[in-house]
């Protein structure tokens, strides 16, 4: 599905963050490595903050919604289907976190250049930068602790 309106992009962004928050809350409980568990807890808290920020941004900018069409964003390019199983190893949980962060970084980076409201574009850029930092942290954790 094409994300061709401001409302569709904001709705998808909020849903994406909410799904990731649900996944993080699940994988935190399954992690055995204390460093991974701590990192996942931090990512879960951050995801909650990002979701709250997105909901606030969505509410505050509804009256300023731009009706001009937005092109080049397709929901299926950013959707991921991760399955958290009962018996997953820490390395698998780390891979799930990497997939989530990469997908969100890509979406918020791409969307920031297509949203015409500067304040929303800045928030999207900010979230994309947070996701990049998270990826660096997760990759370092993987190299140092789990792999």
Q: Give the count of domains, the chain.
A: 1
Tens digit of pLDDT for each residue in 35-77?
Answer: 889 999 999 999 999 999 988 888 877 655 566 678 888 888 8
pLDDT in the model for residue 144: 65
Q: What is the DSSP string of 67-105?
A: -S---S-BGGGT-------SS--HHHHHHHHHHHHHHHH
Predicted local confidence at residue 147, as pLDDT: 47
Joined tokens for residue 96: 């799930």
* Six token digits for residue 60: 């505050």
pLDDT of amino acid 101: 95
Q: Is there a domain that residue 118 lies in? A: yes
Query: Is residue 93 assigned to a domain?
Result: yes
Report the SS3 class of residue 2: strand
Work out the angle at residue 126's Cα, subtended by the Cα atoms of residues 115 and 100, and round it to the nearest 5 degrees.
90
Within-domain flag for 13: yes
Arithmetic mean of pLDDT over the chain: 86
What pLDDT shows up at residue 62? 61
What whole-number percentage of the chain has pLDDT above 90? 46
pLDDT of residue 21: 92
Q: Kind and range of the H or E element at 41?
A: helix 34-61
Asked if residue 49 is part of any domain, the answer here is: yes
Residue 62 lies in a domain: yes
Range of the domain at 134: 6-146
- Of all residues in the chain, the percent with pLDDT exceeding 70 is 91
Classified as helix, coil or strand, 65 is: coil
pTM of the model: 0.86
CATH of the domain at 43: 1.20.1260.10
Residue at 1 is within a domain: no
Task: Look at residue 115 and tell me if it is in a domain.
Answer: yes
């Amino acid at each position: 599905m094409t994300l061709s309106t401001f409302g569709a992009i904001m709705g998808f962004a909020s849903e994406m963050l909410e799904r990731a928050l649900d996944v993080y809350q699940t994988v935190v409980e399954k992690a055995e490595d204390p460093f991974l568990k701590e990192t996942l807890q931090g990512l879960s808290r951050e995801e909650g903050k990002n979701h709250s920020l997105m909901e606030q941004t969505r509410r505050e900018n509804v009256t300023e919604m731009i009706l001009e069409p937005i092109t080049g964003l397709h929901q299926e390019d950013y959707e991921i289907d991760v399955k958290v199983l009962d018996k997953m190893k820490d390395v698998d949980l780390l891979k799930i976190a990497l997939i989530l962060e990469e997908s969100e970084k890509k979406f918020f980076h791409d969307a920031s250049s297509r949203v015409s409201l500067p304040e929303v574009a800045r928030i999207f850029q900010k979230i994309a930068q947070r996701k990049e930092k998270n990826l660096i942290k997760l990759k370092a954790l993987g190299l140092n602790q789990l792999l």
